[in-house]
Amino acid sequence: MSLNVVILAAGQGKRMRSDTPKVLHPLAGRPLLDHVLGAAQVLEPDSICVVYGHGGEAVREALSAQAGPQSAWVKQEPQLGTGHAVMQAAPHLRDGASTLVLYGDVPLTRVETLQRLIAAAGDGLGVLTVTLADASGYGRIVRDAKGRVQRIVEQKDATEAERRIREVNTGIMVIPTARLKGWLGRLSNNNAQGEYYLTDIVALAVEEGLPIATAQPEAEWETLGVNSRAQLAELERIHQREVALRLLEDGVTLADPARIDVRGSLMAGRDCSIDVNCVFEGEVTLGDKVSIGPNCVLRNVRIASGTRVEAFCHMEDAEVGANCRIGPYARLRPAAVLAEDVHIGNFVEVKKSDIGVGSKANHLAYIGDTTIGRNVNVGAGTITCNYDGVNKHRTIIEDDVFIGSDTQLVAPVRVGRGATLGAGTTLTKDAPPDQLTLSRAKQISVTGWQRPVKGGKKG
pLDDT band at 66 (very low <50, low <70, confident <90, very high): confident
Q: For the chain, what's the residue count?
A: 459
Confidence at residue 459, expressed as pLDDT on a 0 to 100 scale: 57
φ, ψ for residue 156 (rounded to 5)? Answer: -70, -20
Least confident span in 51-55, 215-219, 320-324, 385-389: 51-55
Report whether 37 contacts 7 (CB < 8 A).
Answer: yes
Q: For 239-298, what is each residue's pLDDT tens digit?
A: 999 999 999 999 999 999 999 999 999 999 999 999 999 999 999 999 999 999 999 999
The mean per-residue pLDDT over the stretch 303-321 comes to 98
Please state, rounded to an integer, the average pLDDT across all residues of the chain.
94
Name the amino acid, one letter, at 357.
V
Residues 27, 6: Cα–Cα separation, whole Å:
21
Residues 231, 62: Cα–Cα separation, whole Å:
23
Residue ranges per structural domain of the chain:
3-223, 229-437
Instruction: State the alpha helices, DSSP H only, in 27-142.
Output: 32-42, 56-67, 82-89, 111-121
φ, ψ for residue 379 (rounded to 5)? Answer: -75, 165
The domain at 229-437 falls in which architecture?
Answer: 3 Solenoid (2.160)
User: Which residues have CB under 8 Å from 305's CB, separation 6+?
Assistant: 269, 287, 288, 289, 290, 322, 323
pLDDT band at 26 (very low <50, low <70, confident <90, very high): very high
Residues 81, 26: Cα–Cα separation, whole Å:
25
Report whether 87 contacts 101 (CB < 8 A).
Answer: no
Count how many Cα atoms sit within 13 Å of the Cα of residue 128 in the half-sphere of its side chain. 28
How far the first Cα of the chain sits from its last, in Å, is 96
Confidence at residue 458, expressed as pLDDT on a 0 to 100 scale: 63
Does residue 456 register a pLDDT over 70?
A: no
Report whether 368 contacts 342 (CB < 8 A).
Answer: no
Give how far Cα 228 sits from Cα of 58, 361, 419, Å: 20, 47, 62
Does residue 12 register a pLDDT over 80?
A: no
Beta-carbon neighbour count of residue 251 at 10 Å? 12
Report whether 378 contacts 367 (CB < 8 A).
Answer: yes
Confidence at residue 457, expressed as pLDDT on a 0 to 100 scale: 65
CA geometry: angle at 323 spanning 320 and 325, to 5°?
Answer: 75
pTM over 0.85? The answer is yes
Beta bridge partners of 420: 402, 436
Confidence at residue 53, expressed as pLDDT on a 0 to 100 scale: 87
Between 440 and 349, the more confident residue is 349
Does residue 337 register a pLDDT over 90?
A: yes
Each residue of 30-46: b (16+ CB within 10 Å) or e? bbbbbbbbebbbebebe
The mean per-residue pLDDT over the stretch 392-407 comes to 97
Report whether 84 contacts 195 (CB < 8 A).
Answer: yes
The mean per-residue pLDDT over the stretch 383-395 comes to 95
* Residue 393 designated active-site: no
* Catalytic member of 35, 239, 314, 363: 363
Report whether 196 contacts 187 (CB < 8 A).
Answer: yes
Q: For 167-195, what is each residue's pLDDT tens digit?
A: 999 999 999 999 999 999 999 998 888 89
The mean per-residue pLDDT over the stretch 342-356 comes to 98
User: Looking at the domain that runs over 3-223, which CATH code has it been given?
Assistant: 3.90.550.10
Q: What percent of the chain has pLDDT over 90?
A: 86
